[in-house]
Structure 1
Amino acid sequence: MAECRKIRPADRYTGKQGFTYDAGIAAETVGSRAICMHLLTIPSGGRAKAHKHATHETAIFQTEGRSVMYWGERLENRMEAEAGDLIYIPADMPHLPFNPGPGPCTAVIARTDPHEQESVVLLPELEHLVP
């Protein structure tokens, strides 16, 4: 029988995207089967690698700071976000987030992939499209 679990983020890991995450709810930590949720703090000037999450949706609640995300097949769209904003990223959507500063940007991220890094697909061919 499954049990309710509580996690206090203590462990950190570096994702394929290039950011360091605070470990949270995932198959690896609590045995989840359909969702993961973790914390991310992007330092001022921090930038992810262009990527997508194959077949998985992402929901983000930005709790602190500002961020910019380029998204679309050729990263042709630009979205700015600040503390209090909720962001939805459809499955298979290429995106590249970064923190323009001046301070850190913190967010709670949830994805329909219980293994946070398994669905990450890097898209190095799109890197040059974002200034």
Structure 2
Amino acid sequence: MSDAEQRWKHHGVRVIAGDALDSNTPQTPGMFRQAAINHARVGAQKIWAGTVSIEPDAKTGVHHHGALESVIYVVSGRARMRWGDRLEFVAEAGPGDFIYVPPYVPHQEINADPANPLQCVLVRSDNEAVVVNITDVEPVEQPEAVYWVDPIHKHPHD
């Protein structure tokens, strides 16, 4: 096999089986994240992709992700997003729907179902997790039932 063939064989397209996702990611009660595509697994330089399962009624505090763009694909459950300077806008998404979160948009992520988990595929435009907590905006929906807290989403009172 030529050098070029060797290069493409080992550094070309990668398929990550759904049952081979990496749970060696930040984990906390109420949320289970698994990486499929990141720098450590496949050498990705500008993207992170994986799955996330969010417990019923979990809510984040108000935050944004800096310059990162995020895409969320809802596999099952009901997602509610609030956004804006005072979280004055709201939209919900269900199975098969995509959510796009532009850079620097203040938002709150919510599992809108008090009884069932929310299953999503998450894609971000960088490998680094960026979260900027916004403390001067009161969440419209208080994260009181289950705090969605992990190394990326901090407790709203921290």
TM-score by length of 2: 0.70
Query: Which SS does the other structure have where 2:40 is aligned?
Result: helix
Q: Greater strand share, 1 or 2?
A: 1
Provide the C-alpha distance between the structure 2 equivalents of 1:30 and 1:10, rounded to a whole number of angstroms.
12
How far 1:19 moved relative to its partner? 4.0
Q: Unaligned stretches of 5+ in structure 1?
A: none
Q: What stretches of structure 1 move > 4 A for 4+ residues in a row? A: none
How far 1:12 moved relative to its partner? 4.5
Number of aligned pairs?
Answer: 127
Provide the C-alpha distance between the structure 1 equivalents of 2:32 and 2:111, rounded to a whole number of angstroms.
14
Larger radius of gyration: 2
Provide the C-alpha distance between the structure 1 equivalents of 2:61 and 2:24, rounded to a whole number of angstroms.
19
2:126 aligned partner: 113
Q: Aligned residues: percent identity?
A: 30
2:67 aligned partner: 55
Question: Are 1:34 and 2:43 an aligned pair?
Answer: no
Give the aligned residue type for 1:25: I
Query: Which SS does the other structure have where 2:136 is aligned?
Result: helix
TM-score by length of 1: 0.83
How far 1:15 moved relative to its partner? 6.7
Q: Deviations over 1:72-122 (max 9, x none)?
A: 12211111111111111111111111112221111101111122x1x2222
Q: Unaligned stretches of 5+ in structure 2?
A: 1-6, 142-158
RMSD across aligned C-alpha pairs, in angstroms?
Answer: 2.1
2:139 aligned partner: 129
Provide the C-alpha distance between the structure 1 equivalents of 2:86 and 2:68, rounded to a whole number of angstroms.
19
